[in-house]
Amino acid sequence: MVWRNAVDTLDAAVTFLPRGSPDARRFVEGHMKPCVSILLDQQPSKIGHMEKNCVEESLKRAVILVAMDLKWKNEASDAEGSTLVECPILDVLAQIMNRKRTYYKGSKPNWNMTLSGAPEVRMQMIHKFRALDGWTNFAVYLERRAERQPEQFPNPEILRQLLGALCDIVPGPPATAKGPLSPQQQEVLSANLEREKVIEDTILRVCNAIMRYINRISEDATLKKQANDVLSKVIYDLRSIFDRFPSSRREETFQFYRFWRNLTLKLITSSSLPIRLYGWDQVNDLIDSSRELRPPPKYFIVEGAGCDFVNGRYAYNGALDDLGYAARGGEPSYMLTTGPGTATKKITLFRCTMRSQQKWWFLSEADEKQPGTDKDIDYYQHKSRPNEDVSVPPSNGWLTCRNSGEEPPPTLRSEGLMVPVGEEYNTLEHQLAKWAIENNIIELVLGDSVHREVVARSQSLIKFLANMCSRDDAPVEISDTDLQKPNAYCLQPSHLLLAWRTCASKADAAVSTEVYALLVSILPSLPDELAIQLLSAIQKSLRDGAYHDKHDLLPEVSEFCTALAKAVPEDNTALGLGAVATGISVSDDVRREILNLLWGVLTHPDAHSIKTYEQLKHYVTRELQVEPNGALHRREFLRSCTKHLAVNADTSLGEIDESVALQKLKLTRFVLEACPRDQAVALVTENNAELPLLLFSEVCAYLGRKNAITNPAAVKRVSHSLAVSPFPLVCT
């Protein structure tokens, strides 16, 4: 009878509340919440059919009460001159919509049993509330408070639960009809589309009201009081809703991302450091979300495969919506048709979910009757690794399938985007890059208010902007809008020079350390032109102190080089200098520039003052052994040593810095030890054994300089002996 009492009591409230009963109002506002909470704490697996029926009937009546109350409060607020009337039982609705309540999700598994829940009941309540126009009235309720009385806006915890419910009823993409439709089927389809549009419009009203409210939050009054995790969850739920909308709602989705970027800008420009750091967490979420919604490539170019017929240009083979965008969901695939007549082959590039739930990519000839099965002829495959993006085929790391493939495996590169013509530069990633550049976000990070925690969090954005530099290389048809100019919004040389100036200023050692790490981490992501400009600027400051009155910036340059050395794992020599943080290798041109910078540090007159000198030498040794260009670098550096030895051997130059001369001798030995034996022999014996002769002359010159200090009269004898023979047997 206790279970039935809950239904009867709520039933009475549904009957008497519309009549203005004070007792019904007191019960609804004071006792309905704990009553509903107790019901939602029940385990469906532990109670009988009658009890479950009572729980569900009680929840239905609670939903009816909230829907009625929202309607009345909105009508009361419509009266001329009236103030907004608050609905205090929204938190009851939030409880009913909370998917984590025990009645819906059951209990956690333990050693002997798991109690299942009834999530379908929650969905029934969501649709029940919609049938009562509850969501429409909720949208009106929010809109009025967002505009007139934001202090009456529901708290974020309530918003979270109700947004989660709306997210679950966002209509999916319309089903594609197979064959022509009868008039009756067409009528049903039109009615369904109209109903889905009404649902979408209502959801959009709720979301837009919440976004207007958040936009009105001032930092001092409200923002500091909001728990960051709760606000993040509200934004996450909003994002989940908009990301599920079909491309027909593309502009509304873009509007949400504009709101998110504007909010983020407010956060990262706050005077409060905790709020700024929270804002940078939002920046990283924006990058991830924009990347997830990137349209798939239009083509993939497969090159270098041992099976020649596999090489070629694969066209997108997935479904498209009515506007020409790639349809969401499903497994992406690309197809190449090759060969004439009966020799025609259809090679497919596709992703397959394995039994282990890993997603692998294949280059296969699909079986016509049973594609995607063991009957396919697989030529090459790529096995996904942990934390690897499997949304698109990877460029490298493909393996040859034993039965049909031939070595070597191919490499892949993408071309274009699967969007309508003219929309190639109107993606969320391009909009985010435009926002970052136009609002001077990089200057904000590295400007006068630079902070090491902010620098550390900005790494993802700077990498993202670096990647955008080469995103738009493929020619496309574009309009004359600014947004669609390729490469207009990406990382600029001025940003990298600003980062280096921040290091060189030495205003804060902790900040400089973070910036060194930042520059090293983005180096593999930079286009060659940008990377070389950065490294050239660092070399210039090593030579002439380009940014300060100092003679040069050896300590700062050496710290950058040390950060670079620390970033490369000891066992990653095969990857060369590109094995920085991510393991992505840099080009030979960039690698040459880095080695030249390191050599400039090692040969600097004050290099002995560098604490990490031996670590840098060890790093350069490993890199000099990486072929095929290691031989060229070893020869180039040895020539540098030879040239210096020739200068030191000239006794007519007067006073010589002995520590520098000794340094060059040691570096000569250092380079020779890095050479394989065959190359070392060739370098020592070339040019009529110039190097050994210079080393011998350097010894003689050194003894002559030493005697000049202890016995000035001996200088004459040394000079005479050197003039008589270039190979003196004895130097006195």
Do the beta carbons of residue 56 and residue 40 sit within 8 Å? Answer: no
Do the beta carbons of residue 618 and residue 556 sit within 8 Å? Answer: no
pLDDT higher than threshold 60 for residue 648: yes
Is the pTM of the predicted complex or chain greater than 0.85?
no
pLDDT of residue 712: 54
Write the pLDDT tens digit of every residue in 363-388. 998 776 666 667 789 999 998 877 66
Q: Tokens at residue 619, please? A: 């790093």
Weakest mean pLDDT among 211-225, 393-407, 424-438, 571-585? 571-585
Q: Tokens at residue 200, please? A: 């979408």
pLDDT of residue 80: 58
Q: Which of 328, 317, 474 is closest to 391 using CA atoms? A: 328
- pLDDT (mean) for 237-245: 91
Q: What is the mean pLDDT of the chain?
A: 82
pLDDT of residue 483: 47
Weakest mean pLDDT among 158-162, 373-377, 406-410, 578-582? 578-582
Sorting pLDDT into bands at 50, 70 and 90, what band is 327?
confident
Q: d(Cα 595, Cα 599) in Å, to the nearest integer?
A: 6
pLDDT higher than threshold 60 for residue 572: no
- pLDDT (mean) for 221-244: 78
Q: d(Cα 219, Cα 268) in Å, to the nearest integer?
A: 11
pLDDT of residue 592: 87
pLDDT of residue 223: 58
pLDDT of residue 370: 66
- pLDDT (mean) for 100-118: 76
The percent of residues above 90 in pLDDT, for the chain, comes to: 36
pLDDT higher than threshold 90 for residue 93: yes
DSSP structural state of residue 45: G
Give the number of residues written for the chain.
732
Measured in degrees and rounded to the nearest 5, phi and psi for residue 300 equal -130, 130
Sorting pLDDT into bands at 50, 70 and 90, what band is 218?
low
pLDDT of residue 475: 45
pLDDT of residue 691: 78
Using CA of residue 529, residue 532, residue 538, residue 540, what is the dihedral sign?
negative
Contacts of 110 (CB under 8 A, 6+ apart): none
pLDDT of residue 574: 38
Tell the residue number behind the tokens 């002997």, with chain if given. 112
pLDDT of residue 161: 94
pLDDT of residue 15: 93
Buried b (16+ CB within 10 A) or exposed e, 48-75: eeebbebbbbbbbbbbbbbbbbbbebbe
Write the pLDDT tens digit of every residue in 257-306. 999 999 999 999 988 888 899 999 999 999 999 998 888 999 999 999 99
Sorting pLDDT into bands at 50, 70 and 90, what band is 582?
very low
pLDDT higher than threshold 80 for residue 214: yes
Tell me the β-bridge partners of 299. 315, 415
Find the angle CA(292)-CA(293)-CA(295) to the nearest 5 degrees. 115
pLDDT of residue 719: 42
Q: How many Cβ atoms from other residues are within 10 Å of residue 383's Cβ?
A: 14
Find the angle CA(590)-CA(594)-CA(597) to the nearest 5 degrees. 140
Q: Which of 523, 634, 635 is closest to 579 using CA atoms? A: 523
pLDDT higher than threshold 50 for residue 476: no
Residue type, 466: A
pLDDT of residue 379: 94
pLDDT of residue 683: 81
pLDDT higher than threshold 50 for residue 326: yes
Task: Please state, in angstroms and as integers, the Cα–Cα distance from residue 416 to each residue in 193, 279, 298, 668, following that order.
Answer: 32, 32, 5, 50
pLDDT higher than threshold 90 for residue 179: no
Catalogue the E-assigned strands of 472-576.
Answer: none
Q: Tokens at residue 610, please? A: 């560098």
Q: Which of 234, 229, 167, 160 is closest to 204 using CA atoms? A: 167
Number of H helices, E strands in the chain: 27, 8
The burial class, CB within 10 Å (0-12 / 13-18 / 19+), for 218 is exposed
Beta strands 359-365; 345-353: pairing state: antiparallel
DSSP structural state of residue 376: S
pLDDT of residue 235: 92
Q: d(Cα 57, Cα 49) in Å, to the nearest integer?
A: 12
Task: Please state, in angstroms and as integers, the Cα–Cα distance from residue 442 to each residue in 248, 434, 463, 492, 704, following that order.
Answer: 34, 12, 11, 10, 57
- pLDDT (mean) for 697-709: 70
Q: CB-side exposure of 511: number of CA atoms within 13 Å?
A: 18
Q: Per mean pLDDT, which of 182-186, 370-374, 532-536 is the most reliable?
A: 532-536
Sorting pLDDT into bands at 50, 70 and 90, what band is 113?
low
Cis peptide before 493 (omega within 30 of 0): no
pLDDT of residue 182: 81
DSSP string, 113-164: ------HHHHHHHHHHHHHTTHHHHHHHHHHHHHHT-GGGSPPHHHHHHHHH
Q: d(Cα 199, Cα 723) in Å, to the nearest integer?
A: 100
- pLDDT (mean) for 592-618: 88
Residue type, 181: L
Q: d(Cα 67, Cα 76) in Å, to the nearest integer?
A: 14
Tell me the β-bridge partners of 361. 351, 382
Instruction: State the angle between helix axes of 273-292 and 459-468 in degrees (0 to 180), rounded to the nearest 10.
Output: 40
Do the beta carbons of residue 488 and residue 547 sit within 8 Å? Answer: no
Task: Please state, in angstroms and as integers, the Cα–Cα distance from residue 604 to each residue in 20, 171, 553, 600, following that order.
Answer: 90, 67, 11, 6
- pLDDT (mean) for 432-440: 95
- pLDDT (mean) for 180-192: 81
Sorting pLDDT into bands at 50, 70 and 90, what band is 604?
confident
Q: Tokens at residue 450, please? A: 């630079």
Sorting pLDDT into bands at 50, 70 and 90, what band is 65?
very high
pLDDT higher than threshold 50 for residue 117: yes
Write the pLDDT tens digit of every residue in 666-693. 888 888 888 888 888 888 888 877 778 7
Q: How many Cβ atoms from other residues are within 10 Å of residue 712's Cβ?
A: 9
